[in-house]
Amino acid sequence: MQPIAIVRKGRGAVSNPAGRFERDARERIDDGWPADDADGPPPPATVVEPDAARSIITRNTSPDIGFDASINPYRGCEHGCVYCYARPGHAFLGLSPGLDFETRLFAKHQAAALLEAELAAPRYRCTPIAIGTVTDAWQPVERELRLTRGCLEVFARTRHPVSLITKSSGVERDLDLLAPMARDGLACAMVTLTTLDPALSRILEPRAPAPWRRLQTIRRLADAGVPVGVSLAPLIPFVNEPEIEAILDAAHEAGARHANYVVLRLPHELVEVFHAWLDEHFPDRRARVVARLREMRGGRDNDPRFGWRMRGTGPWADMIRMRIDVRLRRLGIGRERPSLRSDLFEPPAAAGRGQGAPSAPRHPSAAPPTQGRLF
């Protein structure tokens, strides 16, 4: 018997497979008897628990990405993007990369304090830090918790360069910090836009802002003087790949002046999560999508090699690259993000508390809860 896929309103994953470190797995199957929830299961609540992180800045040496330092205030993401390469990370928590990833979140309530302490370390050397590189730092729970806002306040106060990537219109809340930083060459942004079709967006990334709203965010960032680009990530053959040119045109018209892209990656359990989603929403083209993705990954579901993992190889990967290059040349924009300044950095002791200035106010909800919070 085949496992049952369950479509839940406002959620992306239609399955909840066990993580790769678990010894046991459970599957919901159809045994022929009517289910108690025949009219559909109730929408699962989002639970937010504290993440007792001891550090906040993560460093990498990957040649595939344009930053070597990043921060992520949250683990898990309520946007529910079915394609998210971060989903397998929930296996380290004993949770599923499927539905658990978008309903069981972990918040680093001490993120701003950890950041300030690390920037104040005597051996710290200033280089641009990226925000939101794994999970979206402006996902819905940020409206209440304001952890990303707290980190931005530290960056602004210390005049530290920061780049950000998001698909959330919530970033507009922080234009009061980002716009002055951008004027000093200290901030730039990328907005992820995967489709212009609202119907596709609702099943691909159900709790992320609609495509038209993300275009509005690009425009508002640009109008505020924040250098902004568009990220086509990921591109999925026969799903959103036909929209490449239309997405780039719309983003450019809204104010995007650089662009990048990633071909869908399927590490670890994401293969099962994504294939279940295809079976449910695109059964007519599932075989074509899977075959094309494997063709670009040397016959495998995933190719983790540096240099190839983001783009793929073969004729289809070359065609996608050429289509994007041709469109970018026509629009007069490139792939390179603006360079940010590091020479203005003032360590926290000199920039704030060391001179008697008060620390950034702590939001009332920033204290870690004793139990998981429901939203």
Q: How far apart are CA 93 and CA 115, in angstroms?
A: 23
Instruction: Region of 23 please: left (phi>0), alpha (psi -120 to 50) or beta.
Output: alpha
Instruction: Output the DSSP codes for 135-177.
Output: S-TTSTTHHHH-HHHHHHHHHHHHT--EEEEES-GGGGGGHHH
The tokens describing 81, both together, are 């993007």
pLDDT digits (tens, 9 = 90+) for 268-313: 889 999 999 999 999 999 999 999 999 999 999 988 888 777 888 9
The continuous run of DSSP H or E covering 59 comes out as strand 58-59
Half-sphere exposure of residue 32: CA atoms within 13 angstroms, side-chain side: 1
302: closest CA among 88, 101, 99? 88
Spatial distance between the Cα atoms of 42 and 8, rounded to a whole number of angstroms:
8
Tell me: the pLDDT tens digits for 47-65? 999 998 999 999 987 777 7
Domain boundaries, the chain: 47-332
The overall longest dimension of the chain from CA atoms, in Å, is: 71
The bridge status of strand 373-374 relative to strand 47-50 is antiparallel
Q: Which amino acid is at 73?
A: P
Task: Answer whether residue 30 shows pLDDT above 70.
Answer: no
Summarize the confidence of residues 166-189 as an average pLDDT: 98
Kindly indicate the confidence band of residue 19, based on its pLDDT and cuts at 50, 70 and 90: low
Give the domain 47-332 fold: TIM Barrel (3.20.20)
DSSP string, 290-324: HHHHHHTTTTSS----TTTTTT--SHHHHHHHHHH
